[in-house]
Amino acid sequence: MDSTTLYFRQGPSDKVYQASIQPKDQGFMVHFAYGRRGTTLTTGCKTQVPVEYQVAKAIYDKLIREKTAKGYAPGPDTAKPKPPDAPSQHSGIHCQLLNSITDQQLDQFLFSDEYWMQEKLDGRRLLLRKDGDEITGINRLGFPTAVPETIRRDAAKYPRNFLLDGEAVGDTFHAFDLLTIGSEDMRNKCFSVRYLRMRDMLNAFYHQHIREVKCLSTPGMAGWFHQFKREGKEGVVFKHKDAPYTPGRPNSGGSQLKYKFYETASFIVTKVNDQRSVALSLFESGTLHPAGNVTIPPNHDIPEVGAVVDCRYLYAFKESGSIYQPVFLGPRGDIRAEECTISQLKYKAEVPVSV
């Protein structure tokens, strides 16, 4: 089938764009992947259902024309990640998603003997699975996703099958949980057992691009927390040491909870403005509401209307719903549009009026 890898390098930008036509059922799908070279690529599909080859080829050719017009050029394909399977083919794996805690709840976790703490990485959620000679990436929605070649090579060195949960940051996988090893399913075991087995596993072979996310416990957990905050880290995760791995997100609370040092949210792009800026919106009761604008840095492609993107911000204004001091973090192909709701926002604290 048709497949192309294009590269763009100018100033700080070093990006890759892949497009391919793949057969599905009685028709064809047009897949794409893009991002910085050597990182976990954002993947997607230009066709929602299989179409005739002539239709797929026209969409594919249009993609290539648009990219080459922007300065992308063909290059060697040797270092490109293996193209992901069609997004409609769910892996059957569901990751555990976390609720946040407030400042008022923080101390009960920081000084607890029952909870262990790990740094929360500013990356992309990735489950890494080795099954024989096949290395597969799985995103937070459970769909196959591309794996950087550096991570793939390291994962292949381990002699047994495994399923790790973690975050991909650039060309490095940061593992924070072990779900399976060999034929053993670890998900029903307590977190302390899973973590120690993962540590033993990672100590058993050389892997420059797979790293363990260290666990911290009392005493001393509060000191590490404040150090992470001073260093500008994204946040921390508290995990009950006796809890099993529970797929999905609970309605409230949970055995694993996150605390962020700054606010982030996922938004839907509703307009491409002038001067490398896009308009952002969020759902409330099924209706889209404007949430402000954000500038797209030169090392990122301008996202299309309808894309889901992550932004960091200082706070949101209650009256307008707009975010203050937004910073574009990147596209999020692993987050559904319906998850982009106003309930994500943290608002500026109101100052009491003296009477």
pLDDT in tens, 111-155: 999 999 999 998 889 999 999 999 999 998 898 888 888 899 999
Q: 273 by DSSP, 3-state: which?
A: coil
CA Rg, the chain, in Å? Answer: 21
For all residues of the chain together, what is the average pLDDT? 88
CA distance 153 to 38: 13
Residues 106, 42 contacting (CB under 8 angstroms):
no
Percent of the chain with pLDDT over 90: 54
Phi, psi of 49 (to 5 degrees): -135, 160
Domains, in order of start, for the chain: 3-74 (2.20.140.10), 99-260 (3.30.470.30), 263-344 (2.40.50.140)
> What pTM was computed for the model?
0.70
> How would you class 238 by CB atoms within 10 Å of its CB: exposed for 0-12, middle for 13-18, buried for 19 or more?
buried
Cross-strand pairs, 99: 257
Using one digit for the tens of pLDDT, what is the confidence trace for 230-247? 998 889 999 999 999 999
Best-predicted range by mean pLDDT (13-17, 155-159, 229-233): 155-159
Q: Which residue has the higher pLDDT, 65 or 178?
A: 178
Provide the pLDDT for residue 170: 80
Apex 263 CA angle, 292 and 216, nearest 5: 165
Best-predicted range by mean pLDDT (188-197, 218-227, 329-338): 188-197
Phi, psi of 107 (to 5 degrees): -60, -35
Provide the pLDDT for residue 69: 86
Residues 179, 127 contacting (CB under 8 angstroms):
yes
